[in-house]
Amino acid sequence: MVPVGCTPVLRHSFNGKQLTVIAALGVRNFYFRLVYGPIGKPELVHFLKTLHKKLHRKLLVIWDGLPQHKSRLVADYLKSTSGKVVVDYLPGYAPKLNRSEYIWAYMKQRELGNLCRSTISEVKAFACSRLKSMQRRVGLIASFWKQAGLKP
């Protein structure tokens, strides 16, 4: 128990381990994947392939200027789809236009705030559970579009 007026100190033993999330926001849903470590070019291509296979339709992906998004591996995959997966890029610095940023802001403030787990695997399980819960909330997803000032 922490005495009143003292800031609690959260300790963890992740030893530099990292958990990263990639997401795609659609009109009524969003899709995500949690990855141990940073998301590199192969993970981006795998995510796009999985998303395209799941949705069974043409995709327009709007990305920021992250170097991995413009890599040769990603470009080669996009070319191999013969126009079934198309990418367009946001202006240089436009985080307010990136609807996925609203997923992360909500997640950090409402779902993961003050989360303290013993292992990175426990953090991953909890985050996955919360993201799945968020997927079922159509009103919440609509609010991400509205916050960006864009219509789906």
Mean of all residue pLDDT scores within the chain = 85
Confidence tier at 51 by pLDDT (50, 70, 90):
very high
SS3 state at 127: helix
Domains located in the chain, CATH noted: 19-106+116-147 (3.30.420.10)
Q: Are 120 and 36 within 8 A, CB to CB?
A: yes
Structure tokens given for 96: 């307010």
pTM: 0.80
Residue 59 has what pLDDT?
Answer: 92
Residue 150 has what pLDDT?
Answer: 62
Q: Is the pLDDT of residue 61 over 80?
A: yes
The rounded distance, in Å, linking the Cα atoms of 32 and 111 is 15
Per-residue pLDDT tens over the stretch 65-122 = 788 888 999 999 999 999 999 998 888 777 777 778 888 888 888 888 888 888 888 9
Per-residue pLDDT tens over the stretch 91-103 = 877 777 777 888 8
- Provide, rounded to the nearest whole percent, the portion of the chain with pLDDT above 70: 89
CB atoms within 10 A of CB 85: 19
